[in-house]
Amino acid sequence: MSRRPDVVCLGILVADVIARSVEELPPAGTLTLLDEISLHGGGCALNTATALVRFGLRAAAIGKVGRDAFGDFVLRLLAERGVQAAGVIQDQAVPTSSTVVLVDGRGERTFLHLPGANGALQAGELDPELVFAGRALHVAGALVMPMLDGDPTAALLALAARPRCPAGERSRCPRDDRGWGERGRRRPRGDDAVRRAGLAILGQERL
């Protein structure tokens, strides 16, 4: 049985197809030869958890992938890197999020992105026992997680800041972790997600 993670990374899980060197898009209907096409794992949940494991910490990833070849690839990569993946949902109704990365000779990158499973992930699908299992919760990737961005994340962070119930004693807890984002329940405004975080790093578009 996996030990409790130090950090739980909730966010996007992506299969990156990298093509190089692409100096310009070819004319429609033509064929262009490349130096390399390679498949890699990406996304903030996978990348952050990978880095934490390399630093000697225990990390878990939480997110959603499709029940397809890319989804199997991401799950296999998490296992190979020693990242706990019990909280990764595999959904046959949506494709795994993927990005085609076009890299030119100077290293400049251009992205073609399919939101897929990341864009379909909703708060109600998350297991609180897994989300709040670590000593810290890292949340990122809101730009391509519209169903989780804003109010649902703010409510999730509010729960994360509260004292946790001891394992096996949840029936005696005065609250229900599964309540975030329920229909009809008053939730914090989207701006509260930043105020409720212990540490927030914002993109330029949110400054």
Q: Do 36 and 50 form a contact (C-beta atoms < 8 A)?
A: no
What the chain holds in terms of domains, given with CATH numbers, is 7-22+36-145 (3.40.1190.20)
For residue range 60-106, list pLDDT tens digits in order: 999 999 999 999 999 999 999 999 999 999 999 999 999 999 999 99
Angle, CA of 173, 177 and 183, to the nearest 5°: 130
Does residue 195 register a pLDDT over 60? Answer: no
pLDDT at 80: 98
The counts of H helices and E strands in the chain are 6, 8
pLDDT at 150: 87
Per-residue pLDDT, averaged over 178-206, amounts to 47
pLDDT at 174: 42
Backbone φ/ψ region at 107: left (φ over 0), alpha (ψ -120 to 50), beta: left
CA distance linking residue 59 with residue 19, whole number of Å: 30
Share of the chain above pLDDT 70, in %: 76
pLDDT at 192: 53
Per-residue pLDDT, averaged over 127-132, amounts to 93
Does residue 177 register a pLDDT over 90? Answer: no
pLDDT at 29: 95
Half-sphere exposure of 197 (CA within 13 A, CB side): 17
- Mean pLDDT is lowest, of 20-24, 133-137, 169-173, for 169-173
Longest dimension (CA), the chain: 66
pLDDT at 72: 98
pLDDT at 172: 42
Instruction: Give the mean pLDDT of the chain.
Output: 84
Angle, CA of 76, 39 and 108, to the nearest 5°: 135
Looking at per-residue pLDDT, the higher value among 176 and 153 belongs to: 153
Angle, CA of 196, 128 and 125, to the nearest 5°: 100
Query: In degrees to the nearest 10, what's the CA dihedral of 137, 152, 83, 206?
Result: -70
Q: CB 152: neighbour CB atoms within 10 A?
A: 22
At 163, the pLDDT band (50, 70, 90 cuts) reads: low
The full length of the chain comes to 207
